[in-house]
């Protein structure tokens, strides 16, 4: 009767814990993997900064194109002079007060600048494309971080529940030990050991709680969510594990990823930017040819007798100009040669960065394939362990029903089965995640629903 009472007490305690957890979760915002990814992509500040940089590059490209057009400026002037002054319009010295006015329009155009502006447009276009790839790279990194953190939070949540179940079992065992000690069936050492086990399990619960709360906080930070907002995690739907593709070859994945992965595209485009910078620097060795023209007129109160009133003076005093300027670089303290040398070094550095990005991607993909294989082995091991623990629990349960096993043995077997089941579920999550990582490098969307 006492064994059945303890079993019933443990069952009621677990049921109450599940009900309380359900009630608490009803007041929380439920976050799925898809929601977490969507909100992170929408609000993450690092992604927004990358998008701002892309917008700046768009303006740089626009300015580089506009630099091909001539500049046009207009201006007017007016003034009063007293005393001795030279009147430019009348062409003489005057001692009387003079009122004057004038206006001019000037235009300037660069006819040849060593192709620097054309090459600058190309460099800015490559830079814009590199920044667009950088935005995609930031989004990719963010998606992986969100999924990893989400699954880490689920794992810690499961560990917390397992720790709480173990604590409940230890407390039940402590109650049995105290009862047996009072009737003389247990020694003080047995009672102390039971108390020590409870204290250890309480510490494990605290550690698991801290780990779970920290992973939730990390997830909220990725989503740019207020830490004070209570959230609950939604377990993603698990597709059939047997349907997962497992025969991946790292070299084949790399060949597919290297042609389209944003990290590589960004590095390649930055190499093209650096290459164009060489052409820009080399253009400074060429002569430059520019053209300027102007149209102006003026009025002076001292020239009324000669040139007529205001309107007549503006017509008669009109002046026009057109000039060409050829600038030949001879010596500028080696600035041009040094700029060219720096541009070449920058290009070599960009090529090294491009190769480094490819090497890093190759390493990551090979690691991902190894992680998938390891996850397969862990899944198989936990599957066997869960089946074994389940069989053991059924045997103990049958023995308990006929009085051949006590409640402690039953609870221990049940806890072992629960832990084995939890490990098996987590291994399944890990296997699915590792397979989705491979899909990610193949350019497929991370989706746990298929």
Q: Give me the percent of the chain exceeding a pLDDT of 70.
A: 84
Place of tokens 């040094």: 338
For residue range 37-96, what is the model confidence (pLDDT) as tens digits?
999 999 999 999 999 999 999 999 999 999 999 999 999 988 787 766 666 666 666 666
Q: Which residues pair with 62 in a beta bridge?
A: none
Q: What pLDDT sits at residue 65?
A: 96
Place of tokens 């052409």: 279
Flag whether pLDDT at 185 surpasses 60.
Answer: yes
Place of tokens 């204290």: 199
Domain chopping of the chain, boundaries = 2-69+115-154+220-286+332-441, 73-112+291-328
For residue range 391-439, what is the model confidence (pLDDT) as tens digits?
998 898 788 667 677 666 767 787 788 788 888 878 887 888 888 888 8
Q: What pLDDT sits at residue 232?
A: 92
Mean pLDDT score of the chain, rounded to an integer?
84
CA distances from 439 to 6, 336, 376, 393 (A): 49, 49, 16, 39
**Residue pair 361/264 in contact by the 8 Å Cβ criterion:** yes
Which comes out higher in pLDDT, residue 116 or 12?
Answer: 116
For residue range 298-327, what is the model confidence (pLDDT) as tens digits?
887 766 655 557 777 777 778 899 999 999
Q: What pLDDT sits at residue 306?
A: 57
For residue range 83-133, what is the model confidence (pLDDT) as tens digits?
666 666 666 666 667 787 888 999 999 999 999 999 999 999 999 999 999
pLDDT class for 17, splitting at 50, 70, 90?
very low
Q: What pLDDT sits at residue 317?
A: 79
Would you tell me the crossing angle of helices 188-222 and 116-182 to the nearest 10 degrees?
160
Structure token digits, residue 67: 């630099």
For residue range 236-295, what is the model confidence (pLDDT) as tens digits?
766 667 767 778 899 999 999 998 899 999 999 999 999 999 999 999 999 999 999 999
Cα separation, 390 vs 352, whole angstroms? 56
pTM of the model: 0.78
Three-point CA angle 244, 250, 256, nearest 5°: 90
Q: CATH for 2-69+115-154+220-286+332-441, among 1.20.120.80, 1.10.1270.20, 3.40.50.300, 1.20.1600.10?
A: 1.20.1600.10
Mean pLDDT value across residues 167-176: 82
Q: What pLDDT sits at residue 6?
A: 39
């Amino acid at each position: 009767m006492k064994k059945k009472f303890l079993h019933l007490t443990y069952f009621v305690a677990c049921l109450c814990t599940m009900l309380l957890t359900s009630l608490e979760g009803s007041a929380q915002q439920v976050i799925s993997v898809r929601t977490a990814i969507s909100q992170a992509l929408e609000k993450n500040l690092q992604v927004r900064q990358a998008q701002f940089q892309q917008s700046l590059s768009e303006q740089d490209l626009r300015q580089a194109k506009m630099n091909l057009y001539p500049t046009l400026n207009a201006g007017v002037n007016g003034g009063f002079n007293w005393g001795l002054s030279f009147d430019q319009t009348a062409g003489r010295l005057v001692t009387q007060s003079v009122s004057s006015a004038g206006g001019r329009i000037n235009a300037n155009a660069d006819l040849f600048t060593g192709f620097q502006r054309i090459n600058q447009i190309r460099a800015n276009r490559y830079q814009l494309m590199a920044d667009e790839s950088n935005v995609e790279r930031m989004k990719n990194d963010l998606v992986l971080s969100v999924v990893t953190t989400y699954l880490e939070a689920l794992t810690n949540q499961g560990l917390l529940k397992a720790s709480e179940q173990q604590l409940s079992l230890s407390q039940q065992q402590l109650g049995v030990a105290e009862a047996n000690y009072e009737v003389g069936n247990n020694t003080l050492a047995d009672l102390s050991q039971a108390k020590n086990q409870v204290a250890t399990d309480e510490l494990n619960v605290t550690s698991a709680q801290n780990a779970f709360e920290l992973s939730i906080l990390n997830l909220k930070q990725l989503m740019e969510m207020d830490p004070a907002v209570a959230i609950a995690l939604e377990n993603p739907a698990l597709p059939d594990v047997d349907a997962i593709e497992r025969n991946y070859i790292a070299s084949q994945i790399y060949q597919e990823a290297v042609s389209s992965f944003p990290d590589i595209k960004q590095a390649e485009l930055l190499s093209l930017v650096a290459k164009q910078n060489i052409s820009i620097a080399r253009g400074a060795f060429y002569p430059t040819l520019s053209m300027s023209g102007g149209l102006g007129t003026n009025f002076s109160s001292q020239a009324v007798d000669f040139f007529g009133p205001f309107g007549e003076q503006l017509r008669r005093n009109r002046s026009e100009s057109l000039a060409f300027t050829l600038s030949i670089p001879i010596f500028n303290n080696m600035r041009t040669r040094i700029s060219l040398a720096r541009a070449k070094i920058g290009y070599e550095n960009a090529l090294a960065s491009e190769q480094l990005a490819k090497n890093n991607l190759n390493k990551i993909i090979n690691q991902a394939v190894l992680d998938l294989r390891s996850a397969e082995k862990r899944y198989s091991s936990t599957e066997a362990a869960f089946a074994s623990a389940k069989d053991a629990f059924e045997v103990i349960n049958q023995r308990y029903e006929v009085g051949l096993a006590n409640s402690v043995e039953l609870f221990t077997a049940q806890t072992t089965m629960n832990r084995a089941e939890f490990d098996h579920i987590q291994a399944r999550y890990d296997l699915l995640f590792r397979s989705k990582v491979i899909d990610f490098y193949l350019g497929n969307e991370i989706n746990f629903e298929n």
